[in-house]
């Protein structure tokens, strides 16, 4: 966690992906069609406290959220639902803080928080 805070002094964004070096930032894959995964992810994100759903674009599988930090900064979060095949979907998250300073690891923590919540809700479908 200290390393993340040090990286966060300089960097104000964090992203997940299938090639992420950090195992915690690897795409999360669920045994659900994109349609079903989309419904589950959107309904779960809408219930998460502290996050405000700004808009959702089903055709491209993108959900845009906003979160305010305790210091009053705004974080923009994009959650993407991608179809891997007809019965499997992946979820990726990109989180960025507005402002000139680094995020002290807050984008990293937000991503882990969202993944934890989705994994709990979709535990039966985790691939």
Q: For 6-63, what is each residue's pLDDT tens digit?
A: 555 567 889 999 999 899 999 999 999 999 999 999 999 999 999 999 999 999 999 9
Domains of the chain: 2-125 (3.30.310.220)
Task: State the Cα–Cα distance between residues 41 and 106, nearest whole angstrom.
Answer: 21
Q: For 79-96, what is each residue's pLDDT tens digit?
A: 999 999 999 999 999 999
Facing residues of 89 across strands? Answer: 30, 83
| Mean pLDDT value across residues 91-119 | 89
Helix pair 106-121, 34-47: axis angle to 10 deg: 120
pTM of this structure: 0.90
């Amino acid at each position: 966690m200290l390393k993340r805070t040090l990286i966060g002094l300089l960097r104000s964004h964090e992203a997940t992906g299938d090639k992420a070096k950090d195992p915690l930032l690897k795409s999360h894959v669920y045994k659900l069609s994109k349609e079903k995964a989309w419904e589950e992810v959107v309904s779960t994100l809408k219930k998460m406290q502290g996050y405000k759903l700004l808009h959702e674009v089903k055709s491209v599988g993108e959900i845009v959220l906003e979160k305010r930090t305790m210091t009053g900064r705004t974080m923009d979060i994009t959650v993407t639902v991608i179809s891997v095949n007809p019965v499997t979907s992946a979820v990726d998250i990109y989180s960025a803080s507005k402002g000139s300073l680094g995020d002290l690891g807050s984008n990293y923590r937000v991503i882990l928080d969202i993944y934890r919540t989705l994994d709990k809700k979709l535990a039966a479908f985790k691939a």
